[in-house]
């Protein structure tokens, strides 16, 4: 029972090892990985080879077994099984390196099937990656991936039209492990090896530069003294910080450790404070420019420029955070929760802060400018990384020393472990759906089941996305969901970008949706509150993540697809929908809402989403009715 529990729970970071020499070895190995990627990508960024992908995956797999323990139990030593796994990883890497041209040669694979040794080492490599992903991402994720492998093998035994020709295990391993640019070496891993690890380095450098304190201080000045100020600081700070760190869990820890106690201090209940931080930090994956690295994969799969993805993400992300801000504001007014101190001249304080530490924002501005003018993500990241340290020395009190720089590189390598293992396995899904034809068949069946209705297709796709999104980390869940539900939505006539963002939002919200809700677990530890209450409240606060995808399904202009007028109309509709839902959920608009008013607001919000003139007019009338009702009630209240 204990072993089964350990396997299911995944692993955890060990922390510093008891053995000083081994601990130093892990430190220098982490630095070597970061420096290798910096040098190779700076020198050969335009022509990444399969050998680089092998080095990227193998080195991070080694680092995984060095830094992640077998289970969630605290461990500061390296046990014998992990030493064996390390040796096996080295052996597999050497074997694949010695194969030379045959390693990724499709023609050789077709004319010369795998030898017994190639099959054994292919299976071994796959099992090592599975174990690495189990430790970093958890068992549910690898079970989903294994099901895709199993389906390929069981093809002839599937019922009716779902059946397809048999594949032997040798053929399956050949497709997944030895095919060039496919399987574990496909687009997801290539993006990890050429883009994402660099953005992790940039994010960690920015963290150590003090950007987190600057952003939170800016948020504190702008919103900290208003009603429910600390909650608004958590929302704004997490949103801005997430655009750099690109990690929900990291955001919860970095900002939640002081915003959650601040929220509790002014009167927010512990579970609500934890939920605010949880919902706000989860938005890290939808805020440009980094978006947890998903933006780069989306650009590759959708066949668009990265800058198009970045621009498309702006308005939906704005609506997401607007929904949270409105709810914490209504909650603060309803419960009369004060701010964090006396009001002062905001402009004067902002000017002073920016004069003192505003230069720390320059690397982020440089990154955005380089991306907007057409530089590749790799080159933009390299230039921005090079700019961080010199920029910090504009003022002596913010200058970064060598120790901080090395610590940032070490943390970036270790943070990249989870990305490399999950993305390599995500490539299996791509191949599975293609060679079996199940992707197209699934799309067809959903189309038949929905009767061609865009509403039904969206509801079915959203349900599937949310369920699959609970299977693992956001970036892996997004890949699985977009590959399954994306073709369904495209076949229904929606733009490719819409299908990708739809999958992203639902995979992202699964991070805080019970019963899995990893974000809620992290926040519960800080808030000292119930995981379930935090998770349920976080889902309420993040209601925009459930509704905004339906808005851009019917109004793709929200993703910058269309004319300026269409974009403005889509934004106005989105703001009206989010405001009405936030008000209905919190029970406050201009004054306290009764049950009927809340129901009318929620109904009106839903009625605005579809492109249906009669329904839209009815929705506007309902919202207008509640607004007039509230105005008259407020006037009567103040006239007494």
Closest among 507, 522, 515, 495 to 469, alpha carbons compared: 507
488 and 533: one domain?
Answer: no
Identify whether residues 306 and 444 lie together within a single domain: no
In a domain, 149, yes or no: yes
Q: SS3 for 640?
A: coil
627: in domain:
yes
For the beta carbon of residue 187, count every other beta carbon within 10 angstroms: 18
Domain assignment present for residue 129? The answer is yes
* Alpha carbon of residue 611 to chain centroid: 29
Number of domain units in the chain: 4
pLDDT of residue 107: 45
In terms of phi and psi (left: phi > 0; alpha: psi -120 to 50; beta: otherwise), the region of 578 is alpha
> Helices (H) and strands (E) in the chain — how many of each?
31, 0
Residue with tokens 């974000």: 519
Residues 175 and 76 in one domain: yes
Gap between the Cα atoms of 307 and 291, Å rounded: 12
DSSP letter assigned to residue 192 = I
The answer to whether residue 390 sits within a structural domain is no
The beta strand positions in 398-441, using DSSP E, are: none
Structure confidence at residue 437 (pLDDT):
81
Tell me if 197 is assigned to some domain.
Answer: no
Task: Return phi, psi of residue 395, to 5°.
Answer: -125, 135
- Reference 547, options 458, 483, 482; nearest CA is 458
Among the listed residues 205, 191, 290, the one whose alpha carbon sits nearest the alpha carbon of residue 246: 290
**Do 99 and 165 lie in a common domain?**
yes
Asked whether residue 105 falls in the same domain as residue 155, the answer is yes
The answer to whether residues 544 and 580 belong to one domain is no
**Cα–Cα distance measured from residue 138 to residue 132, given in angstroms and rounded to the nearest whole number:** 9
Rounded to 10 degrees, the C-alpha dihedral 432/433/438/441 comes to 180
**Residue 580 in domain:** yes
Do residues 490 and 537 both lie within one domain? no
Selection from 223, 243, 242, 241 nearest residue 233 by Cα = 223
- Is residue 371 in some structural domain? yes
The model's pTM: 0.85
The rounded distance, in Å, linking the Cα atoms of 455 and 573 is: 17
Alpha carbon distance 322, 334 (integer Å):
18
pLDDT for residue 548: 93
CA separation, residue 601 to residues 169, 584, 606 (Å):
56, 6, 9
How confident is the model at residue 339, as a pLDDT?
A: 59
Q: Quick one: 144 and 282 in the same domain? A: no
Q: What is the predicted pLDDT for the residue at 91?
A: 95
Task: Please check whether residues 537 and 628 belong to one and the same domain.
Answer: no
What is the chain's alpha carbon radius of gyration, rounded to the nearest angstrom?
A: 25
238 and 221 in one domain?
yes
Q: What is the 3-state secondary structure (H, E, C) of 223-289?
A: HCCCCCHHHHHHHHHHHHHHHHHCCHHHHHHHHHHHHHHHHHHHCCCHHHHHHHHHHHHHHHHCCCC
Closest by CA to 85, choosing from 135, 149, 36, is: 135
Mark whether 568 and 540 lie in a shared domain. Answer: no
**What pLDDT is stored for residue 616 in this prediction?**
93
* pLDDT at residue 386, as a whole number: 94
Q: Answer yes or no: do 604 and 458 share one domain.
A: no
Nearest Cα residue to 200 out of 327, 291, 92, 106? 291
List of the chain residues with pLDDT < 50: 1, 3-6, 8, 46, 106-108, 110, 340
What is the span of the domain harbouring residue 626? 560-640
CB 557 within 8 A of CB 567: yes
How many Cα neighbours within 13 Å face the side chain of 154?
Answer: 10
Would 394 be classed as within a structural domain?
A: no
């Amino acid at each position: 029972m204990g072993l089964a529990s350990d396997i299911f729970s995944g692993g955890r970071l060990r922390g510093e090892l008891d053995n000083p020499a081994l601990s130093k070895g892990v430190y220098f190995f982490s630095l070597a990985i970061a420096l290798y990627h910096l040098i190779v990508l700076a020198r050969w960024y335009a022509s990444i080879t399969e050998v680089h992908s092998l080095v990227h995956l193998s080195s991070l797999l080694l680092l995984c077994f060095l830094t992640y323990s077998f289970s969630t139990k605290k461990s500061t030593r390296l046990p014998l099984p992990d030493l064996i796994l390390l040796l096996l990883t080295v052996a597999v890497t050497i074997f694949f390196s010695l194969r030379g041209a045959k390693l990724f040669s499709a023609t050789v694979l077709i004319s010369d099937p795998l030898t017994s040794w190639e099959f054994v080492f292919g299976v071994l490599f796959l099992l090592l990656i599975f174990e690495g992903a189990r430790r970093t991402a958890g068992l549910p994720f690898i079970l989903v991936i294994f099901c895709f492998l199993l389906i390929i093998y069981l093809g002839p035994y599937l019922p009716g039209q779902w059946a397809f020709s048999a594949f032997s295990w040798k053929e399956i391993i050949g497709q997944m492990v030895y095919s060039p640019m496919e399987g574990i070496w496909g687009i997801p891993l290539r993006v990890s090896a050429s883009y994402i690890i660099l953005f992790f380095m940039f994010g960690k450098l920015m963290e150590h530069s003090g950007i987190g304190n600057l952003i939170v201080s800016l948020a504190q000045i702008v919103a900290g003294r208003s009603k429910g100020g600390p909650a608004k600081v958590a929302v704004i700070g997490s949103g801005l910080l997430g655009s750099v760190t690109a990690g929900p869990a990291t955001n919860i820890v970095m900002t939640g450790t002081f915003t959650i106690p601040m929220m509790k201090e002014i009167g927010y209940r512990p579970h609500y404070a934890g939920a605010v931080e949880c919902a706000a930090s989860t938005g890290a994956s939808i805020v440009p420019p980094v978006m947890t690295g998903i933006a780069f994969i989306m650009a590759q799969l959708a066949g668009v420029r990265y800058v198009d993805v970045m621009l498309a993400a702006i308005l939906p992300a704005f609506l997401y955070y607007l929904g949270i801000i409105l709810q914490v504001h209504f909650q603060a007014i309803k419960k009369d929760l004060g701010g964090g101190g006396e009001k002062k001249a905001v402009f004067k304080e902002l000017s002073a802060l920016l004069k003192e530490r505003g230069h720390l924002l320059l690397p982020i501005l440089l990154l955005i400018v380089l991306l907007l003018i057409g530089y590749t993500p790799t080159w933009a990241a390299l230039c921005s990384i090079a700019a961080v340290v010199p920029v910090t020395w504009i003022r002596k009190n913010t200058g970064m020393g060598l120790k901080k720089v090395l610590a940032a590189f070490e943390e970036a390598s270790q943070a990249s472990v989870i990305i490399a293992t999950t993305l390599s396995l995500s490539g299996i899904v791509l191949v599975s759906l293609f060679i079996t034809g199940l992707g197209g068949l699934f799309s067809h069946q959903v189309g038949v089941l929905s009767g061609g209705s865009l509403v039904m297709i969206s509801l079915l796709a959203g349900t599937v996305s949310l369920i699959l999104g609970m299977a693992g980390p956001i970036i892996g869940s997004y890949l699985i969901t977009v590959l399954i539900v994306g073709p369904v939505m495209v076949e229904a006539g929606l733009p490719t970008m819409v299908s990708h963002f739809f999958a992203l939002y639902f995979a992202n919200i699964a991070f805080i949706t019970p019963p899995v809700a990893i974000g809620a677990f992290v926040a519960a530890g800080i808030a000292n509150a119930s995981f379930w209450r935090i998770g349920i409240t976080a889902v309420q606060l993040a209601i925009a993540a459930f509704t905004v995808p339906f808005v851009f399904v019917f109004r793709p202009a929200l993703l910058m697809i269309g004319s300026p007028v269409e974009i403005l109309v889509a934004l106005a509709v989105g703001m009206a929908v989010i405001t009405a839902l936030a008000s209905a959920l919190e029970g406050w608009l201009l004054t306290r809402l009764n049950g009927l008013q809340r129901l009318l607001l929620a109904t009106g919000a839903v009625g605005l989403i579809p492109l249906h003139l009669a329904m839209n007019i009815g929705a506007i009338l309902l919202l207008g009715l509640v607004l007039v009702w509230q105005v008259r009630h407020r006037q009567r209240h103040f006239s007494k």
